[in-house]
Amino acid sequence: MTWLDLPADTGFGLENLPYGVFSPADGRRRVGVAIGEWVLDAGAVAAATGAPFAHLLAGPVLNPLLAAGRPAWQQVRRALVEWLTEPAFADLVRPHLQPRTGVRLHLPIDVGDYVDFYASEHHATNVGRIFRPDSDPLTPNWKHLPIGYHGRAGSVVVSGTPIVRPTGQRKGPADPAPVFGPSVRLDIEAEVGFVIGAGSALGTSIPVTDFADHVFGVFLLNDWSARDIQAWEYVPLGPFLGKSFATSVSPWIVPLDALHAARVAPPARVPQPLPYLRDAEDWGLDLAIEVRLNGHRLACLPFATMYWTPAQMLAHLTVNGAPTRPGDIYASGTVSGPERDQRGSLLELSWGGTQPLTLPDGATRTFLEDGDEVTICATAPGPGASRIGFGEVSGTILPAERRAS
């Protein structure tokens, strides 16, 4: 039990303790931990208590903590629990708590590489049906490997960053030549992201069973997508400008250690994957994700339905010997469940723009309009009756930059 007053239904209880980076007003960036409605200045408490790991929490990003490896992650987590439960620490800790509403949250990590997967069978099937209605919706490789590609790390931004509508080339089937202008099919992709803590050397790989030694934590991600730009550019080398203009992430990294109760068996995989993708202890995560547009709930996404597990994605990413570094991230790809209201993109929700959505206020949407605000949030089961909150990732669409042609 903590000596702090926490709301009964907080997603930021003692069981969670997610890490972020905050600054009070315009002050220095500090490593913080969310607890109830508060943010704990974890670096300040570590310094005040003379903790041997204080340098890992000195900021301005989480990368030193990430690089320190799992024993250090567990040591810091034990200390956080002690600080927040032992009454003897209350007087020391209390001055380092401040309301979360009063601080600014920053991108918590220096992102190394960013890989985006395509691990939802329902999403991949929907996309295949929309774009290739006459052929098998899944490509022949889909059930043999977690398909992925590299995104742009430099355009990963923290929740709340305004998203300028991207400009570029597009060419519809009826257009004689490509046209240039702001995207008219701007979309979201609701995803779950994973951050690498301990890296791996060039020429080595990370077996599925070593997942928890390498992955520090989990967050939410909106991989904004310009479907018209993407459709014209993506053959043969994959998505590029249709995605690289912005990817928003939630500010709180939920430690993997907070998600034991959220582990669930993944769906049956047929055919059986190759041995490097097999794990007797295979597990997915039971996150319930919600997508809101201008405050209206658009969809609820069951992450437990993902075909490929986080451990399989990482084993695949490194099976060729690609190195990983602290701060590398990878994401699941759009999370979609089997039902119509469980789809994680407007592309699927509006079925390629052919079935406009009607919002409760009477507005209709196929794709995003300027001024639209999209928010993605999630929770997962914690120990007992508790819930683990992921906070949210949100962004508002600004009009395209004006420019010549």
Rule CB under 8 A: is residue 352 a binding residue for a second copy?
Answer: no
Binding a second copy (rule: CB under 8 A), the pick from 41, 228, 328, 348 is 328
Binding a second copy (rule: CB under 8 A), the pick from 35, 61, 97, 241 is 241
Rule CB under 8 A: is residue 324 a binding residue for a second copy?
Answer: yes
Q: Which is nearer to a second copy, 44 or 229 (CB)?
A: 229
Is there a contact between 112 and 325 (Cβ–Cβ < 8 Å)?
A: yes
* Cis? peptide before 236, omega within 30° of 0: yes
The DSSP code for 290 is: E
Interface size with a second copy, residues (CB under 8 A)? 68
Binding a second copy (rule: CB under 8 A), the pick from 55, 94, 144, 340 is 144
Residues recorded for the chain: 405
Query: How far is residue 387's CA from residue 215's CA, in Å, rounded to a whole number?
Result: 21
Rule CB under 8 A: is residue 367 a binding residue for a second copy?
Answer: no
Rule CB under 8 A: is residue 294 a binding residue for a second copy?
Answer: no
Query: How far is residue 395's CA from residue 398's CA, in Å, rounded to a whole number?
Result: 10
Residues 214-245 as b/e (b if ≥16 CB within 10 A, e otherwise) read: bbbbbbbbbbbbbbbbbbbbeeeeebebbbbb
Name 378's Cβ contacts closer than 8 Å, sequence gap at least 6.
Answer: 192, 220, 287, 288, 289, 290, 303, 389, 390
Name 368's Cβ contacts closer than 8 Å, sequence gap at least 6.
Answer: 186, 187, 188, 346, 374, 397
DSSP reduced 3-state for 361: coil
Instruction: Exactly one of 123, 144, 150, 296 is catalytic; name it.
Output: 123
Q: Which is nearer to a second copy, 24 or 160 (CB)?
A: 160
Rule CB under 8 A: is residue 240 a binding residue for a second copy?
Answer: yes
Q: Contacts with a second copy in 251-290 (CB under 8 A)?
A: 271, 274-276
Q: Which is nearer to a second copy, 328 or 348 (CB)?
A: 328
Rule CB under 8 A: is residue 385 a binding residue for a second copy?
Answer: no
Query: How far is residue 229's CA from residue 232's CA, in Å, rounded to a whole number?
Result: 6
Specify which residues 264 forms β-bridges with.
Answer: 284
Amino acid (1-letter code) at residue 73: W
Binding a second copy (rule: CB under 8 A), the pick from 172, 178, 371, 383 is 178
Based on the number of CB atoms within 10 Å of its own CB, is 104 exposed (0-12), middle (13-18) or buried (19 or more)?
Answer: middle
Query: How far is residue 347's CA from residue 249's CA, in Å, rounded to a whole number?
Result: 20
Q: Which stretch binds a second copy (CB under 8 A): 50-58, 163-171, 307-315, 358-366?
A: 163-171
Q: Which stretch binds a second copy (CB under 8 A): 29-37, 97-105, 108-116, 355-363?
A: 108-116
Q: How far is the CB of 114 from a second copy (least distance, A)?
A: 8
123 part of the active site: yes
Among residues 210, 189, 194, 206, the alpha carbon closest in space to that of 118 is found at 189
Q: Which is nearer to a second copy, 87 or 236 (CB)?
A: 236
Binding a second copy (rule: CB under 8 A), the pick from 13, 193, 239, 382 is 239
Q: Contacts with a second copy in 183-212 (CB under 8 A)?
A: 202-205
Rule CB under 8 A: is residue 215 a binding residue for a second copy?
Answer: no
Rule CB under 8 A: is residue 152 a binding residue for a second copy?
Answer: yes
Among residues 47, 9, 49, the alpha carbon closest in space to that of 30 is found at 47
Q: Which stretch binds a second copy (CB under 8 A): 41-49, 137-145, 262-270, 291-299?
A: 137-145
Q: Which stretch binds a second copy (CB under 8 A): 31-39, 99-107, 160-168, 380-388?
A: 160-168
Binding a second copy (rule: CB under 8 A), the pick from 145, 212, 288, 357 is 145
Among residues 45, 34, 43, 32, the alpha carbon closest in space to that of 4 is found at 34
Where on the chain is the footprint of a second copy (CB under 8 A)? 112-113, 115, 118, 139-141, 144-145, 147-155, 157, 161, 164, 166-169, 171, 177-178, 180, 202-205, 226, 229, 232-242, 244-246, 271, 274-276, 316-317, 319-325, 328, 398, 401, 403-405
Catalytic residues: 123
